[in-house]
Structure 1
Amino acid sequence: MERHDARNLQRSWRRFSAFAYVAEQYGYRYDGLSPLSPKGSPNPYFAFRRLPDAPQRAAWSAQHYPTAPEGGRLPETQRDVDLLHARIMVDYSLTHRRRGLTALLVLLVAMLIPLSQIGFSGPSLLVCGAVWLFFAGLWLTGLSLARRRYAKYSRLLRDSGVD
């Protein structure tokens, strides 16, 4: 079975979901994160596998929607695109959970360098601690939002009967 990898270069997850829907009309089914995708990448690769009936699907789509290759319209079922969007968002949320924690640890080490030059006095430790706590708060807020988004899309998929 043939697998093709794609990245979301448009930075719009809704457009990428519509792309996945169109690819399905031509015989390529969205198959989740690609094994080639670098761990923790902010822009991972997504896998599409070629279906056995891809030539028939492509011929049918070309016959019924001849202007589609030039930017014409395909039948877009919003529900299908929404389900693909939910699947993509759940898969995407699994790619970058630890990236922020690594950045916090690097920031902590990076702040030790100027502290070693200035000296470990009370005010300088307080400023560095405040800066680190600020970024830790931002990371925790982002983590909370990501978990809520993951729960929302997981619930949507579960209610629709998608694994």
Structure 2
Amino acid sequence: MLLQTQLKALLQDGARGAERHDARHLQRSWRRFAAFAYVVEQYGYRYEGLSPLSPKGSPNPYFAFRRMPDAAERAARTAAQYPNALDGGPLPGMRPGGHRLRPLPEAERDVDLLHARIMVDYSRSHRRRGLIALVVLALALLIPLSRTGFSATALLVCGGGWLFFAVLWALGLFIARRRQRRYGEMLRAAGVDRPQDQH
């Protein structure tokens, strides 16, 4: 149902001739959203990156798709080939039945590249989110300390709790950077240039 709603919104923007279509990541996985981005391209809108509408640090950000010069022809051709797409029928480049956002072998590479681009763009928006949370946590820990007193035991407990979350943040940052590097290398190997940081 969610997929049909997103497709209808795309087709409405296409019918209006909107230059940009914004879609929120609401799929179960980033891979499925990349498959959705592939489908969007078949209707005439190419993936561009994070949308200006996307709140910083959101776990479900908006992504922008830019209208292609031949968008009307693409949309008409796709609608003719897949007339039941909005009613649960097959989607362009995707396997029929079951989970509708599973790419066919011929679409796999394009979906992989879209997935890499999306992950690189998404990771850029989350660089400072954990650091801000650590600062807020440190300030929040001052509240119970001010009530119980700044004893050595209270400071040790609060400091230990903060350190635990700091280690988790550092580990998450390490994993995210390694993932971003891997996807970036994949894009470079495919000759895909990424735009400068937009956020």
Whether the TM-score (by the shorter chain) exceeds 0.5 is yes
2:107 pairs with 1:90: no
Q: Which residue of 1 aligns with 2:90?
A: 72
2:38 pairs with 1:21: yes
Q: Which residue of 2 aligns with 1:54?
A: 71
Unaligned runs of 5+ in 1: none
- Once the two structures are superposed, residues 108-145 of structure 1 have per-residue CA deviations (whole angstroms, 9 ceiling, x without a partner) of 11111111111111111111111110000000000000
Q: Kindly report the root-mean-square deviation, in angstroms, between the aligned alpha carbons of the 2 structures.
A: 1.4
2:145 maps to which of 111, 115, 123:
115
Deviation of the 1:60 alpha carbon: 1.8
Unaligned runs of 5+ in 2: 1-17, 94-103, 194-199
Aligned 8 A contact 2:39 2:91 in 1: no
- Once the two structures are superposed, residues 60-113 of structure 1 have per-residue CA deviations (whole angstroms, 9 ceiling, x without a partner) of 223333343432142341000000000000000011111111111111111111
Output the TM-score relative to the length of structure 1.
0.94
Q: Higher relative CO (CA 8 A, sep ≥ 6), structure 1 or 2?
A: 1
Aligned 8 A contact 1:44 1:95 in 2: no
Deviation of the 1:58 alpha carbon: 1.4
CA distance in 1, matches of 2:31, 2:58: 19
CA distance in 1, matches of 2:76, 2:125: 35
Identity of aligned residues (%): 70
Output the TM-score relative to the length of structure 2.
0.78
2:177 pairs with 1:144: no
